[in-house]
Amino acid sequence: MKKSPLKIFWLVLGVLCLGLGTLGVALPILPTVPFYMATVFCFAKSSRRLHQWFLGTRLYKNNLESFVEKKAMTMKTKCSITGTVSLLMLIGFLLMKNVPVGRVILVIVWAAHMYYFFVRVRTLKAEKR
């Protein structure tokens, strides 16, 4: 059975996001959760089998399952996401010293991220292992 070019696009993008998210587990500069969220979306668009496989992995269960099911995250996950985003936005902010409008936009986007994660997303207690 031949796959459409659009499904192949979603498949390639999903594999790329999976790879970047997995790298993010080891490298603190890459955000794991957003890449895994993109992986779920892309795999759902490209292949039901790959989507189901990813939902069954420990990577998904450790990083996304609580958010998807309960619309909540542990404080550790929230801090990991917002810390990475803050670091990347700080680099962009520093590089935009000659673009004050860009700096203002980055500050607004950063504040929106902080509000969303710390006010809108419920906090779960970390499970003891």
| Amino acid sitting at position 23 | L
Indicate whether this model's pTM tops 0.75.
Answer: no
Q: Are 3 and 48 in contact (CB under 8 A)?
A: no
pLDDT score recorded for residue 28: 66
All residue ranges of the chain with pLDDT < 50 are none
- Residues 6 or more apart whose Cβ sits within 8 Å of residue 58: none
Taken in order 8, 9, 14, 15, is the CA torsion positive or negative?
positive
pLDDT score recorded for residue 15: 94
- 70/121 Cα distance (integer angstroms): 10
DSSP bridge partners of 124 = 74
pLDDT score recorded for residue 127: 67
Task: Tell me the pLDDT tens digit for each residue of 77-106.
Answer: 788 778 878 888 899 899 999 999 999 999
pLDDT score recorded for residue 1: 56
Q: Are 11 and 46 in contact (CB under 8 A)?
A: yes
